[in-house]
Amino acid sequence: MRAVRVGAKRLGTDLYFESGVRHYMPENALGTWEVGGPTTHVRDVAGVEPEDFLTIARRYVNAADTRRTAGNILRQIWEFMLIGVVPMHRLDRFDRRQQHPQPADPRFSGESAIWRAEHTASGDPTQGRFGVIGADPVSVSPTRPGIRRLSS
C-alpha cells in the first residue's frame, strides 16, 4: 500500500482508489476474481475480440516509462527508498469522512458460502447470468492466515 502512496501522482491514483485497493488485495488472495473466467464480456460489450496476452505484454514492455534509461532507474530507486519513510494515509478515517457503508458483519466474497454457491462455474456458457465459459470452482477455507477482515 505504501508503494501505491509513493507512486500515486505518477500512477494517477487518489485516496478513493487506495481505499479500494486495500479491500481488493485480500479478495485477490482468496481467488475471488478467478471464478467464472474467462468470460465473453469484452466481445459482448465492445463487439471486438479481446487482445491476447502477448499483445498486451508487448505494449507495456515498449512503453516509455519501462525503458532502461539512467533517469528511469534513478527514479525507481528513489521511489523504492521513499516507501519506507512516507507515512500511509489514514484510510479508515477517509472512509468515515466519505461515509462509506460499513456492513455489520463484513465478510469477503471468497469466504461466503452463499456467494460461492451463486458463483460456481459451469461448463455451459448459457447457464447463469455471467456468460461463464469454464473454470474450476474455488475452494476457500473459512479462516486463512494473513487475511484481515474488513471491519476495524
pLDDT means per 10 residues in the chain (152 residues)?
Answer: 76 84 85 77 88 91 87 90 85 89 84 82 52 50 51 46
pLDDT value at residue 132 = 45
**Residue 64, pLDDT score:** 84
**Residue 55: what pLDDT?**
93
pLDDT at 131: 46
Residue 120 pLDDT: 72
pLDDT at residue 100, as a whole number:
86
User: By the 8 A CB rule, do 4 and 89 touch?
Assistant: no
Give the long-range contacts of residues 135-143, CB within 8 A, separation 24 or more.
135/34, 135/35, 135/36, 135/37, 135/38, 137/35, 138/30, 138/31, 138/32, 138/34, 138/35, 138/110, 140/30, 140/31, 140/110, 140/111, 140/116, 142/111
- Residue 57 has a pLDDT of 93
Q: How far apart are CA 96 and CA 99, in angstroms?
A: 5
Domain locations in the chain as residue ranges: 2-51+85-118
